[in-house]
């Protein structure tokens, strides 16, 4: 695949040539390329619902050019993904929910399992999706929903979750993931920020912002409260009733005290809050920090001593998908894991589940910058050609091993989720 990319030959051109010359299945003629018949590719259209993390018109065109069939990708919020997967599973051929949604969507019976024998790059998948649950031997496993616990099921029609690698069936096709922390304006703060406890420090009252997602916002506050010595959680990703109530009582008090300037729901909201100067410390996603800096406003992504809150996306196939379209989806997955897509996402600050495959589609110094935490040797550009950082810059949070090796908690849905939502609504109206 890397050779085709570097010589400028797309998978689409290879498929067309193969069809004209032999009129046979591309998979048979090209060894591992699409399993659908090349003359039928033009009739296939894949409808996909995901978030703006992965879906864009640029990525849609990139996938179409590589695979030869059509995509209709829609970027929506996580709540919409979950609602449609549960109530309108036939409205798309592929859904891409976030980790904490897996236990709600997959057991519904609306999705079919993934056959790992059809995933050409399964061996390159990272350990967070397999038995170890970590990226390396010394990495933290993390509280909450470690992905390895929710990626496997017993059969193609399974609705359960089983031990990692105990069957040939996965609940999802692994994709992008990352580790999040807080964003800060160093010049306005005027001193180092090294702990999550600073998020509830009265010094920053009226100048902080929290993300407006119940299951995620509560974990950001939990990280701060525990770091502040107020409470020791047994599992921040699956709190007890008493722990939930304590957390929300404090959250409500902080709100009444005017501690929070705002609560953001979108990537752009978080960027605007920081660039406007309304906040100096807030929940933030890594690419948003880069977007703030691109506007000329100093902003850093904090590498806090208590670690990170991590998330992961995965693709699920509805039960109605079969035949040529199902074969086309597996072709998409194999391309998705092969390298080009991973490089595309990596250059936006995300990580890919098969990073070693992505390496071949990045300049050596780009790999060193994004994954090894080394100073950039050139201008750091996103996949759209925009300059994100200048030569010499070091990625906030350092290396991949440091960030994903220090996961304190994973995005999770708690056993007491009904109480979490109830208390969150109280917090919103307080």
Which pLDDT belongs to residue 38?
A: 52
**Residue 73 pairs with which residues in a beta bridge?**
48
Contact 97, 313 (CB under 8 A): yes
Domains of the chain: 2-178+312-359 (3.40.190.10), 182-307+406-429 (3.40.190.10)
| Rounded distance between C-alpha atoms, residue 85 and residue 95, angstroms | 7
Query: Which residues, including other chains, have CB under 8 Å from residue 272's CB and lie 6 or more apart?
Result: none
Which pLDDT belongs to residue 40?
A: 67
Q: Binning pLDDT at 50, 70 and 90, where does residue 75 land?
A: very high
Kindly report, residue by residue over 105-117, the tens digit of the pLDDT: 999 999 999 999 9
Percent of all residues in the chain with a pLDDT value above 70, rounded to a whole number: 91
Long-range contacts of 374-381 (CB under 8 A, 24+ apart): 381/347
Kindly report, residue by residue over 403-413, the tens digit of the pLDDT: 999 999 999 99
Q: What angle do CA 326, 93, 351 make, to 5 degrees?
A: 90
User: 58 pLDDT exceeds 90?
Assistant: yes
Please tell me whether residue 129 adopts helix, strand or coil conformation: helix
Which pLDDT belongs to residue 30?
A: 33
Which pLDDT belongs to residue 70?
A: 95
Kindly report, residue by residue over 229-270, the tens digit of the pLDDT: 999 999 999 999 999 999 999 999 999 999 999 999 888 899
Residue 304 has, within 13 A of its CA and on its CB side, a CA count of: 27
Query: Which residues, including other chains, have CB under 8 Å from residue 43's CB and lie 6 or more apart?
Result: 324
**Residue 389 pairs with which residues in a beta bridge?**
380
**Residue 369 pairs with which residues in a beta bridge?**
none
Mean model confidence pLDDT for the chain: 90
**Residue 184 pairs with which residues in a beta bridge?**
281, 300
Q: What is the pTM of this model?
A: 0.87
Q: Which H/E stretch holds residue 213?
A: none
Contact 91, 318 (CB under 8 A): no
What sign does the dihedral 47-53-58-64 (CA atoms) show?
Answer: negative
Please tell me whether residue 95 adopts helix, strand or coil conformation: strand
User: 22 pLDDT exceeds 50?
Assistant: no
**Residue 311 pairs with which residues in a beta bridge?**
178
Contact 248, 426 (CB under 8 A): yes
Kindly report, residue by residue over 193-228, the tens digit of the pLDDT: 999 999 999 999 999 999 998 888 999 999 999 999
User: 356 pLDDT exceeds 50?
Assistant: yes
Q: Which H/E stretch holds residue 20?
A: helix 11-22
State the greatest distance between any 2 C-alpha atoms of the chain, in Å, as a whole number. 73
Kindly report, residue by residue over 344-355, the tens digit of the pLDDT: 999 988 999 999
Helices within 257-354 (DSSP H only) = 267-275, 286-294, 323-336, 340-346
User: 278 pLDDT exceeds 90?
Assistant: yes
**Residue 169 pairs with which residues in a beta bridge?**
115, 153
* Distance, C-alpha 89 to centroid of its chain: 22
Average pLDDT rounded to a whole number, residues 283-309: 90
Cα separations in angstroms, 207 against 159, 210, 212, 249, 326? 45, 11, 16, 20, 49
| Rounded distance between C-alpha atoms, residue 343 and residue 338, angstroms | 10
| Rounded distance between C-alpha atoms, residue 101 and residue 103, angstroms | 6
Cα separations in angstroms, 241 against 80, 139, 144? 28, 29, 15
| Rounded distance between C-alpha atoms, residue 140 and residue 379, angstroms | 32
User: 18 pLDDT exceeds 80?
Assistant: no
């Amino acid at each position: 695949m890397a050779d085709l990319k570097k010589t400028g030959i797309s998978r689409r051109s290879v498929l067309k040539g193969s069809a004209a010359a032999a009129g046979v299945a591309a998979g048979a003629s090209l060894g591992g390329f699409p399993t659908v018949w090349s003359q039928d590719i033009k009739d296939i259209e894949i409808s996909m619902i995901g978030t703006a993390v992965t879906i864009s018109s640029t990525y849609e065109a990139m996938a179409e050019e590589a695979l030869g069939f059509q995509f209709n990708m829609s970027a929506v919020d996580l709540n919409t993904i979950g609602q449609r997967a549960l109530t309108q599973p036939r409205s798309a051929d592929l859904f891409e929910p976030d980790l904490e949604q897996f236990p709600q969507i997959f057991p519904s019976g609306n999705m079919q399992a993934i056959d790992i024998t059809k995933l050409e790059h399964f061996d390159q998948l990272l350990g967070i999706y397999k038995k170890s649950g970590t990226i390396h031997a010394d990495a933290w496993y993390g509280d909450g929903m470690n992905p390895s616990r929710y990626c496997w099921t017993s059969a193609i029609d399974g609705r359960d979750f089983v031990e990692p690698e105990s069957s040939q069936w996965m609940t999802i096709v692994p994709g992008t993931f990352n580790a999040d922390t807080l964003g800060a304006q160093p010049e306005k703060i005027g001193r180092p920020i090294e702990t999550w406890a600073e998020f509830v420090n009265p010094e920053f009252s009226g100048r902080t912002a929290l993300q407006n997602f119940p299951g995620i916002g509560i974990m950001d506050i939990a990280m701060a409260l525990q770091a502040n010595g107020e409470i020791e959680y047994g599992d921040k990703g699956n709190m007890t009733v008493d722990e939930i109530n304590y957390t929300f009582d404090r959250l409500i008090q902080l709100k009444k005290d005017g501690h929070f300037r705002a609560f953001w729901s979108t990537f752009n909201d978080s960027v605007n809050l920081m660039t406007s100067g309304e906040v100096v410390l807030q929940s933030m996603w890594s690419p948003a920090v880069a977007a703030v800096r691109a506007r000329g406003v100093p902003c850093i992504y904090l590498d806090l001593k208590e670690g990170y809150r991590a998330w992961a996306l995965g693709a699920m196939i509805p039960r109605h998908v079969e035949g040529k379209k199902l074969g086309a989806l597996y072709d998409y997955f194999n391309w998705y894991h092969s390298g080009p897509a991973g490089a595309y996402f990596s250059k936006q600050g995300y990580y890919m589940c098969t990073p070693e495959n992505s390496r071949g589609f990045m300049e050596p110094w780009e790999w060193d910058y994004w994954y090894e935490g080394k100073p950039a040797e050139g201008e750091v550009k996103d996949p759209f050609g925009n300059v994100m950082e200048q030569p010499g810059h070091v990625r906030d949070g350092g290396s991949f091993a440091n960030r994903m090796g220090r996961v304190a908690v994973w995005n999770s849905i708690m056993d007491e989720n009904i109480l979490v939502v109830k208390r969150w609504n109280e917090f919103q109206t307080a």
